[in-house]
Each structure stands twice: as C-alpha cells, then as structure tokens.
Amino acid sequence: MRIFGEISIPGDKSIAHRAIILASICAGESKIKNVPDSKDVLTTINLIRKCGINIQEKSNYFSIQGGPFSNPDTILDCKNSGTSMRLLAGLLSYKKIPCTLIGDKSLSSRPMERVVDPLIKMGNKIDCINNHAPIKLESFSNQSLGEYQIPIPSAQVKSCLILASLGCSKKTKIIEKIKTRDHLELMINAIDDSILYSDGLEIVIDPNKDKKLDGFEIDIPGDVSSASYLIAAAIMLNKSELIISNLLLNPYRIGFIDTLIEMGADIEVESEEVRFNERVGRIVVRGGKELSPIEITGDKIPYMIDEIPILSLICAHINGKSVISGLEELRYKESDRLEGICHIITDMGGSARIVGKDEIHIEGENKLYNTTKLNNFNDHRLAMMISIAQILSRDAVSYPECIDISFPKFKYLMNQVLEA
C-alpha cells in the first residue's frame, strides 16, 4: 500500500472565512475562487447573507457585493463554527448590528470571553452568560482599545478585534504574545496598505473614514491543515510519492511540515510564489524515511495547532518518546482534543499520557492495531486521525460525517491517491 499521485487541496478554511467577511465590507464586487465547501465556511456565507449582503455562487467563484448591512433575524446560528462566531462578533460590532450569536452544544461549551471582554472595553454593551455562547450584541460605542495585548495566542481573537477596530475613529494597537496566522492582515494590506500596519507582534489599525476598501479578487490556496492527513499517510507508507500543488505555505501555518522535516521526513518545496500576499507552492512528499521522535515546546504550537492530532499519530508509530507541550488550547476545540488523542492512541494499544494540564508524552511503537472501533468524539480532526490510523493498519477505513465540518473531499482525494 502506498500514496501516489498529484492533487490539489480545497481552499484554506481560515482564509475563506476572512475573505468572505472582508468582501462584505468592501465597496463593489469581490470574486473569491476555490472556496472550500466545508460546513464551517458555508455557515459564514449564510450568516453574511442574513445580514443583507448579496453573495452569489458562480461557476468557479463566489461573487460578493459589499454594501450596507441590514439587521438580520434576532438570532444568528453559528452552528459548530467558532471562527464564524468570533469573527462575526467583531464584524457586527463594527457595523453596529444588534443580534444574538448562538451555536450548537459543542460551540456553546467553548470560551468566548476572549473576544467579548475586549469588545466590552470598546464601550459596546454585550451580554455573554458565564463566558459562553450565546453572545448578545445589544448596543455599540466602538471606542478604540488604544493599546491591547491579547492574553493568549489566538488568530480568531486578533481578527475579531481588527474587524471591530475598523469602526473606531482613533488608532488601535493590538499586541500578540506569540505571532499567529496573519491572513486578515495580509488581505487588508493587499487591498490598501494605509489602513493596517504590522511589525512583528504589533498590529496598528488606523481607519480612514474618508477611504473605503475596494472589492478584490482572490484565488484561495489549498488548506495546509487538510493536506496534513494525506502528507502523514505518504510519509508513513513506503514507496509513496505525493505531489500537492497550489498549497498554502504561509510561514505561520507550516509548523507541521517544518516539524516533519526536522523528524527526518522527505518533503521538498518544488516551487513557490506570492499571491495576494500569501506564499503558495507545490510540494513533493516521499515515504520510506525513518523518522525520529520529537520534543515540541509551546511557542511552536500556534503554527500547527490543528495538526497536533495527526502529528501525535505519527509519533505513536515511530520508535522512541515524543513530548509535545503547550497544548491547553486543544481542550477548547470541538472536543477536548488532548483527552481524545490520548484515548485514541491508548485504545489502539499505544502509549500516550497527559502530563500536567497541557503536555502529552507519547511512547512510539512500530505497529498499532485495534483501529476499527475508535471513538472520534464527533470531532472532525480526530475522525481524520482515525481514518489515517486505519489506513496504516490496513483496516477498513471509515469517513464519518463530522469530517464535512472542514474537509468534505477527504474521502474522495484519499481514494484518488491510495494504492493497494
């Protein structure tokens, strides 16, 4: 069995959310190509439509006509999408649209004070019981935060505050502890570099009331987080050669690839270009190399937070002890992913344990079995981790519906390149 062939991955989910939201506040038409059909992104599209924005799906792009927002239904359902909820909290504060943001049971258990607290400090009246959804946006002042340091590394919080700060009359400086994915900043600068300035850990937003952002065109590069599962299968199966074209290579998103190379994986960037301020390229992944265990510290986690489940599976399949720390944020995803990772690996006959509140120790082995009845905790990333475990164990492969949250084409693309 091997992975062999060339594929392109559907557009990056993080960029898609931000491009759709940004297009809604730009003057004129924006055209967005390679929009992924993940449930999370479709949720954002539907919510923006409910706010009065004209979004049409064409043959190979989405057309978004920026314009005035109208008051939506009293309640906007973000379903399972934390990105939708957090970014819309900032967008609707900027546009002064009163409404209530709700979500499903999973989303309602995730912390929201990280966006609500700074929005309240801007003079907005927002009700959020026990720091969880629903978030009730009631009235708006949109005073500048002045200088605000984000207490935890979070691109969602940063994007929320950038959007909200566009409605302020004075400058806002946002300071990060650790640099996180910067897709919204890159997009804004590609349209107009006079509104936002970024220098390392500091982002300054200086809205110009007399100047509007113009509509734009973007071809979204392939989602590197989705690609990670196919990359993992390729490096773990002998005689594999997988080529992925049009792949996002943003330096704050490729921690997983960098880590695999450090472990000894054969991954080569064949070509690279810059499109709409994002680095995009073609990579070649070859299997058969012996990998070494790894120790990863918390400062690297923001660059591979979504890939920790599949990285943990790789560590469980190679001889030696791997240690990954700084993982507390995994407890607040669609499930407690830290606990989920440990359950999956131990139920396969491997060794994984949590040390303290945010560290996982994995004792790797060459062979793991018992993959047919693993619990995915209804979490799309844990479900895809299990699918790859089943491939590596030569078991029947399951593709549960929850995968559609982020990667509906996962089964299709895997079948394209998996050779028995």
User: pLDDT for 374-418, tens place per residue?
Assistant: 999 999 999 999 999 999 999 999 999 999 999 999 999 999 999
Range from 9-23, 88-102, 205-219, 255-269 carrying the lowest mean pLDDT: 205-219
* pLDDT for the residue numbered 165: 95
In whole angstroms, give the CA distance from residue 357 to residue 327: 8
* pLDDT for the residue numbered 74: 80
* pLDDT for the residue numbered 249: 98
**Structural tokens at position 270:** 């064949």
Residues noted as catalytic: 306
> What is the distance in angstroms between the CA of the first residue and the CA of the last residue of the chain?
4
pLDDT band at 2 (very low <50, low <70, confident <90, very high): very high
What string of DSSP letters covers 237-252? STT-EEEEEEEE--TT
Residues 6+ apart with CB under 8 A from 356: none
Task: Answer whether 220's CB lies under 8 Å from 8's CB.
Answer: no
* pLDDT for the residue numbered 210: 52
pLDDT band at 72 (very low <50, low <70, confident <90, very high): confident
pLDDT band at 299 (very low <50, low <70, confident <90, very high): very high
Query: What is the DSSP-derived secondary structure letter of residue 361?
Result: E
* pLDDT for the residue numbered 21: 98
In whole angstroms, give the CA distance from residue 309 to residue 340: 9
Q: Where are the domains of the chain?
A: 13-219, 221-419
**Structural tokens at position 44:** 């954002």
Strand partners, 272: 281
Average pLDDT over residues 145-150: 96
**Structural tokens at position 54:** 């004209």
Average pLDDT over residues 16-35: 97
* pLDDT for the residue numbered 142: 87
In whole angstroms, give the CA distance from residue 122 to residue 143: 5
Average pLDDT over residues 67-89: 93
Chain segment 326-374, per-residue pLDDT in tens: 999 999 999 999 999 999 999 999 999 999 999 999 999 877 888 989 9
Average pLDDT over residues 270-277: 95
Task: Answer whether 153's CB lies under 8 Å from 178's CB.
Answer: yes
Token pair 């005035």 is found at 68
Chain segment 39-59, per-residue pLDDT in tens: 999 999 999 999 999 999 999
Average pLDDT over residues 127-144: 94
pLDDT band at 211 (very low <50, low <70, confident <90, very high): low
pLDDT band at 209 (very low <50, low <70, confident <90, very high): low
Query: What is the DSSP-derived secondary structure letter of residue 419?
Result: E
> Alpha carbon of 366 to those of 53, 62, 137, 369: distances in Å?
53, 46, 52, 10
* pLDDT for the residue numbered 31: 98
**CATH: 3.40.50.620, 3.65.10.10, 3.40.718.10, 3.20.20.70. Which one for 221-419?**
3.65.10.10
Strand partners, 154: none
Average pLDDT over residues 195-212: 85
Is 91 strand, coil or helix? helix
Q: Where are the alpha helices (DSSP H) in 147-182?
A: 155-165
What's the CATH class of domain 13-219?
A: alpha beta
Residues 6+ apart with CB under 8 A from 333: 110, 379, 381
The 10 Å CB-count burial string (b at 16+, else e) for 256-291 is bbebbeebebbbeeeeeeeebbbbbbbbebbbeeeb
Average pLDDT over residues 89-117: 96
Calculate ∠ Cα 268-274-276, nearest 5°: 140
pLDDT band at 420 (very low <50, low <70, confident <90, very high): confident
Question: How much is the mean pLDDT over the chain?
Answer: 95
pTM given for the model? 0.96
